[in-house]
Structure 1
Amino acid sequence: MQIKRAIERVPGGMMVVPLLCGATLATFAPHAAPFFGSFTNALYTGALPILAVFYVCMGARISLGSLPQLLKKGGALMTTKVALGFLASLVLGHLIGIDPVRTGWFAGLSTLAVVAAINDTNGGLYMALMEQYGQPADSAAYTVMTLESGPFLTMVSLGVAGLAAFPWQTMVGAILPLAVGMVLGNLDPEMRRFLSQGVSVLIPFFAFAIGCTLDLHRVATAGLLGLTLGVVLVFVSAICLIAADRLIGGDGTAGIAAATTAGNAAAVPMLVAVANPRYAAAAASATVLVACCVIVSSLLVPPLTALWKTRVVRRQEMDAALLSGEVQRVAETPDSNR
């Protein structure tokens, strides 16, 4: 059986297929893993430990010479997403204020839901897509983007800065596994080769664990509004992030891969409401809408990234063919006609 080949026919298949398997299990058999316990339940709930190991293996592949590009790309993508969050906060805050829409087709929509969904990127999905379609430094750029995690930037975007701390220990902890891998890989070429082999192997495992945190019933609960919000945010974010990526010399692939919503973003509305009770009315519906954006973006971004990368490769091949034809034409032109 050609299982691996069949999975790889799906755009981002090594990420998407295990993620869907995990989401299906979480939706229709949520108590299966706890029932069996032991290693089964550990895999079901183990996205963060697996990602930590993934960071070490990935860090080993990165040479010190690529650090400027890592900081450049990660900073550009993060700044773009934060700017989108600020813009959404300003526009929607002026139009609908703090409370959610009460009636009509947009009932439940709130500034909190949109900003929380924009601000946090799905790091696991981004890194998996960059592993398949980008470069190691592109994947590692997410280390810089971890600054998006948690409610802090959402609170800043909503104009309530100072209500939550952003512990330095958390930021150092997010960088340490990658740094350890980089040190090992740069000190010992054999260690680099050894650890690098684990990168592609770990992707389906943390994808499955991430999928186990997604309940497909939430899409039905959010209804058409949730689906529409997810699609709109993916396309708006993708357009801006592609532009940012190309502005710093990329081909746009990293930009579109970052146009997702992280699974932990679904917890942000409640955290914001705890910090500022004025958002309590919007928190419940915002949680459902953000969860819907997580699922929609997780399913939509991988094929879009694959399509974009195919387009980029074809354009590069066409440019190379045109250049080759031009060089050949000049070479064949008689000296008297030149």
Structure 2
Amino acid sequence: MQIKKTIEKVPGGMMIIPLFLGAIINTLFPATATTLGSFTGALLTGALPILAVFYFCVGTQISFVGSPVVVKKGVTFLVVKIGTAALVGLIAVNIMPSEYITGGFFAGLSVLAIVASMNETNVGLYMALMSQYGTEEEVGAGSIMMLESGPFLTMVTFGVAGIASFPWEFLVGTILPLVIGVTIGSLDKEMKAFFKPAVPILIPFFAFALGAGMNIVNAVRAGLLGILLGLMVIIITGFTLFLADKYILKGSGIAGLAAASSAGAVVTVPVAVAAANSKYEIMAADATALCAASVIITAILTPIIVAWYHKRLEKKKLAENPQLAVSELTIK
């Protein structure tokens, strides 16, 4: 049986499928964790400890060593992405009743879902696209953008936008595993290599645990709304990142478009934010489902948009300099 290949046919499958499997179990057998207890019960209810290990391992892979160009590009995309999420969150909080819509077509949509989905770039997808369409410096910028991982910057975004406040102890506790990971990975390359395989391995486990806190009915209902959220991420953050790439970094705009996505790890953010501020508990499950949908949509559409824009730039170059086409034919 080719289970792994089958799962990976779904964009973000190693995260999405275990997430929905957990939701199905929780919907059909809600007392499973209590009934079975022990290791099974701990897995069904233990998303946060798994996430602590996951973010530590992610931290070991983050490197700040690079050329000034790499740092400039990475920091610019990081700031613009977070700034865009904060601005949209600020607008949304003044439109939505209690930051959470409970009725009608938009039922389940919340400021938490919007900010979380926009706050993190799918760095793996970004680096893959830049390896094909960008420069080495643009690929390297992904190492800086990995700092978006986790709920810490989402909490900071909420604070900057004046949406919510969190106790400083929770903020420290949220980022500490990542910081410790960065420190250890920077001090010892062997430790960095040792923890690297654990990053993808942990994904299905925390996804399953997160899904076990969801209701499959709500998750399915979030489908169409999640598609719209994914489109919002691409259109809004894609626009600001494109402008930053073109006019601040003097690039082609491709790197900015490639960063307009939702990272798989955004599904972990709502639960972590709810743990830090109880007012978000009521919307955490819906926000998780919406973020999962946004991950899928952006994973599908972002590469298509980047490839289209790259092709457009190539056509423009050939139109401006027909000799390029002649040269290519001569080489072939």
Q: TM-score with structure 1 length normalisation?
A: 0.69
Taking the aligned partners of 1:242 and 1:194, their CA distance within structure 2 comes to 35
Q: How far does the alpha carbon of each residue in 1:289-315 deviate from its partner, in whole angstroms, 9 at most, with x for none? A: x74453234134314323322442575
Unaligned runs of 5+ in 2: 128-141, 246-254
Contact 1:253 1:305 in 2 (8 A): no
Please, which runs of 5 or more residues in structure 1 have no aligned partner?
158-163, 274-282, 334-338
Residue-by-residue CA offset, 1:51-76 (whole Å, 9 max, x unaligned)? 11111211111212266655543332
Match runs of 1:127-142 below 5 Å: 129-131=122-124, 134=127, 135-142=142-149
Q: Distance in 1 between matches of 2:244 and 2:126?
A: 18
- The answer (yes or no) to whether the contact 2:230–2:293 under 8 Å persists in 1 is no
Q: Give the secondary-structure state (helix, strand or coil) at the position aligned to 2:180.
A: helix
| Structure 1 position 243, deviation (Å) | 2.1
* Cα pair distance change 1:173/1:246, threshold 3 Å: farther
How far apart in 1 are the matches of 2:55 and 2:98? Answer: 38
Answer whether contact 2:61 2:192 (CA < 8 A) is retained. Answer: yes
Number of the residue aligned with 1:299:
293
Counterpart amino acid of 1:302? I
Is the 2:77–2:256 Cα contact (8 Å) retained in structure 1?
no
Match of 2:115 among 103, 112, 119: 119
Q: Cα deviations across residues 139-182 of structure 1 (Å, max 9, x unaligned)? A: 33235x6243399649934xxxxxx7522222222222122122
Following the alignment from structure 1 to structure 2, what is the Cα–Cα distance between the partners of residues 100 and 182?
Answer: 35
The offset of 1:44, in angstroms, is 1.0
Instruction: Give yes or no for contact 2:213–2:285 (8 Å, CA) kept in 1.
Output: no
One-letter identity of the residue aligned with 2:260: G
Question: In terms of Rg, which structure is larger?
Answer: 1
Compute the RMSD of aligned alpha carbons.
4.2
Aligned 8 A contact 1:230 1:293 in 2: no
Query: Does the 8 A contact of 1:58 with 1:181 survive in 2?
Result: yes
Cα deviation per residue 1:1-29 (whole Å; 9 max; x = unaligned)? Answer: 11111111111111111111111111111
Secondary structure, counterpart of 1:65 in structure 2 = coil
After TM superposition, list the pairs within 5 Å mapping 1:179-190 onto structure 2: 179-190=179-190
Q: Give 1:148's aligned residue.
A: 154
For residues 40 and 229 of structure 1, the distance between their equivalents in structure 2, rounded to whole angstroms, comes to 32
Partner Cα distance (2:218, 2:273) in 1: 11
2:257 to 244, 252, 256: 252
1:83 corresponds, among 87, 99, 107, to 87
Residue 209 of structure 2 is aligned to residue 209 of structure 1: yes
Q: Is the 8 A contact 1:24 1:216 kept in 2?
A: yes
Q: Give matches, 1:41-52, under 5 Å.
A: 41-52=41-52
Percent identity for Structure 1 against Structure 2: 31
Moved more, 61-70 or 147-156: 147-156
Instruction: Provide the rounded CA distance (Å) in 1 between the counterparts of 2:256 and 2:105.
Output: 39
